[in-house]
């Protein structure tokens, strides 16, 4: 209840939030019913997480997840040692008891990926459980989850919705190319800064791929513009991955940004 932002969101969530499409909720339920272990990891505190999720996903959002971790303070959740970032139990949104390890699914605070991974080993019966981690921050989510945990990472990149995409002759993309996200126009392609994917240097009249492109290529398994772009796909759909070849654009789904494809062709031709 401190400050101005949190009380404002609490008073009128509809002013700041949009409910999740039913298709996304159905997708999450489908993953859960197919016996996938569902995780929610957020740096937000438990009360704020509950406020957002109840509005976005519904009052029963906890049923969609096996493990919920709040106040994770990413990227520290991945980069710090267990003794530096222990898990805590929660009671009425207050941290109560520090835990030496995680013994069962539930809602926890703080923590570290090592103890989480140990719990997932016990739950799956596998020495190396496969984890697909969705996040929208290259620094806090994608780099650290890949570098420290070696998780498969799915970058949710809204900027991809603001770019014209390269559309090859492909028939297996379903309705993904037809779907519109919350940014239907070119509003994310800044007139001042230009494309998210290509830098321009007026003094030399040269262009090059941005640092973000290299980070995406190095640390993401795939990149999608939003969750809605994949919810209609079969759960066993095999995505092209950045790690499958040396292509700079292999992991973009449903299609890479056109400006990036054009830039790569220019660099290859030189």
Note down the domain range covering 34: 5-130
- For the segment 82-101, what is each residue's pLDDT rounded down to a tens digit? 999 999 999 999 999 999 99
Residues 125 and 168 in one domain: no
Same domain assignment for residues 17 and 120 = yes
CA gap 159, 189 in Å, rounded:
8
**112 shares its domain with 162:** no
Q: What is the mean pLDDT of the chain?
A: 89
Residue 17: inside a domain: yes
Q: Are residues 175 and 254 in the same domain?
A: yes
Q: How do beta strands 152-156 and 222-224 pair?
A: parallel
Strand 198-201 vs strand 87-91: parallel, antiparallel, or unpaired?
Answer: unpaired
Q: How far is CA 52 from CA 16, 46, 74, 100, in A?
A: 10, 10, 18, 29
Same domain, 245 and 177: yes
Residue 192 belongs to some domain of the structure: yes
The residue ranking higher by pLDDT, 240 or 204, is 240
Do 18 and 99 have their domain in common? Answer: yes
Q: Are residues 17 and 98 in the same domain?
A: yes
The CATH number of whichever domain residue 15 belongs to comes to 3.40.50.1000
Query: How far is residue 132's CA from residue 118's CA, in Å, rounded to a whole number?
Result: 16
| Closest residue by Cα to residue 213 from 242, 193, 245, 192 | 242
* Pairwise pLDDT comparison (105 vs 245), residue with the higher score: 105
Note whether 162 and 76 are same-domain residues: no
* pLDDT tens readout for residues 37-77: 999 999 999 999 999 999 999 999 999 999 999 999 999 99
- Residue spans of alpha helices (H) in 43-82: 46-56, 76-79
Whether residues 264 and 205 fall in one domain:
yes
**How many domains does the structure of the chain reveal?**
2
- Distance, in Å, from the CA atom of 170 to the CA atom of 167, rounded to the nearest integer, reads 8
């Amino acid at each position: 209840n401190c400050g101005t932002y949190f009380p404002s969101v609490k008073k009128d969530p509809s002013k700041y939030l949009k409910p999740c499409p039913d298709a996304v909720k159905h997708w999450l339920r489908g993953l859960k019913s197919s016996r996938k272990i569902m995780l929610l990891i957020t740096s937000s505190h438990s009360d704020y997480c509950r406020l957002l999720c109840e509005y976005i996903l519904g009052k029963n959002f906890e049923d969609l997840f096996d493990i919920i971790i709040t106040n994770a303070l990413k990227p520290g959740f991945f980069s710090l040692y267990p003794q530096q970032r222990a898990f805590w139990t929660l009671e009425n949104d207050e941290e109560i008891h520090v835990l030496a390890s995680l013994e069962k699914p539930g809602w926890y605070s703080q923590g570290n990926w090592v103890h989480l991974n140990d719990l997932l080993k016990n739950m799956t019966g596998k020495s190396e459980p496969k984890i697909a981690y969705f996040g929208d921050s290259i620094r806090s989510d994608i780099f650290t989850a890949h570098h420290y945990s070696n998780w498969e990472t799915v970058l949710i990149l809204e900027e991809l919705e603001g770019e014209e995409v390269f559309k090859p002759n492909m028939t297996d993309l379903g309705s993904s190319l037809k779907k519109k996200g919350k940014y239907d126009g070119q509003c994310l392609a800044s007139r001042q800064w230009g494309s998210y994917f290509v830098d321009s240097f007026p003094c030399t009249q040269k262009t090059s791929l941005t640092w973000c492109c290299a980070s995406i290529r190095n640390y993401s398994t795939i990149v999608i513009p939003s969750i809605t772009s994949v919810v209609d796909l079969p759960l066993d759909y095999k995505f092209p991955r950045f790690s499958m070849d040396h292509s700079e654009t292999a992991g973009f789904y449903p299609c890479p940004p056109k400006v990036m494809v054009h830039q790569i062709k220019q660099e290859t031709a030189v």
